[in-house]
Amino acid sequence: MRCPFCRIDNDRVIDSRAGDDGNTIRRRRECLACRRRFTTYERVERQQLTVVKKGGDREPFDRDKLKRGLAKACWKRPVTEAAIDAVVTALETELHDSYETDVPSRVIGERLMEALRTLDQVAFVRFASVYREFKDVRDFVEELEPILAEAYLAQSGPGGVGYGVAVGGVAVGGGGGHLGATGPAAAGAGAGGLPAVVHGPATNAAATAGSAPGPRPTP
C-alpha cells in the first residue's frame, strides 16, 4: 500500500481487526520509509448501486456523501463518528440485500430518518427539515407531533395528562395519551393538561390554554 505521506510503497501491517459487525477489516500500517502510520479498510466489493432521484436523474451510491450529510445533522450532538458509520453501513447492507442496482432516493432518505430518530431526535429534526424541505414552522410542528406524543406517553402512560405546544401563534395540543387537534384552541385538549410551551409570538390564549380553567356557567 502506498504511503499517503511520502508516497513510497513499502509498509507493514502492525494491527488488524474486524469492524462493522464483520463487514470490514481495519488495518493499521506503518511506512518503512518515513515511519509514519496510517489506517486502511477492506470491504467486500459488491455491485455498484445507482441512486434514482425524484426527477429521474441517476448517480452512483456514495456512502461518503451520506456520512457528510449525517455529520451535518449531528453537529454538536453526542453522536460519534463510529455511530454515523454504523448507520451508513447498515443502510448499505440493506440496500444491497433488497435491490439489484437501482435504488429510489426516497428509500434512502426514509431509512436514514428512521435511524436518526432512534439515534438522536435533534439530529432527526435537522435532517428532516432539509430532506422534506420544510417551508415554515408548521412543518416542524407536524414532524414533532409524534415525538411529543411518544414523550408524554412514556412519562404518563395511556390516559395520562394532556399537553399543549404553541409555535408561532399556532397551538398543538394532545391529551389522554393521544394527539389532539391543531389550531388556536388545540392546546386546551386533555383535561388537566400541562401549560403550553411557547416558541415564538404565540397569543396568551394559545400559550395558556393547556392549563387555564374554562369560563363559569351563567346563572
Q: Is 141 a member of any domain?
A: no
Name the band, by pLDDT with cuts 50, 70 and 90, for residue 168: very low
Q: Is 194 a member of any domain?
A: yes
Same domain, 16 and 77: no
Q: Is 19 a member of any domain?
A: yes
Q: Is 169 a member of any domain?
A: yes
pLDDT at residue 64 tops 50: yes
pLDDT at residue 107 tops 80: yes
DSSP helix/strand/coil, 14: strand
DSSP helix/strand/coil, 75: coil
* Separation of alpha carbons 206 and 45, rounded Å: 57
Print the domain residue range for 161.
157-208
Same domain, 54 and 118: yes
Q: Is 127 a member of any domain?
A: yes
Q: Which of 77-91, 101-115, 166-180 has the lowest mean pLDDT?
A: 166-180
* Separation of alpha carbons 131 and 126, rounded Å: 9
CB 174 within 8 A of CB 163: yes
Q: Is 4 a member of any domain?
A: no
Same domain, 73 and 34: no
Name the band, by pLDDT with cuts 50, 70 and 90, for residue 77: very high
Which of 90, 42, 44 has its CA nearest to residue 70?
90
pLDDT at residue 218 tops 90: no
Q: What domain count does the chain have?
A: 3
Name the band, by pLDDT with cuts 50, 70 and 90, for residue 117: confident
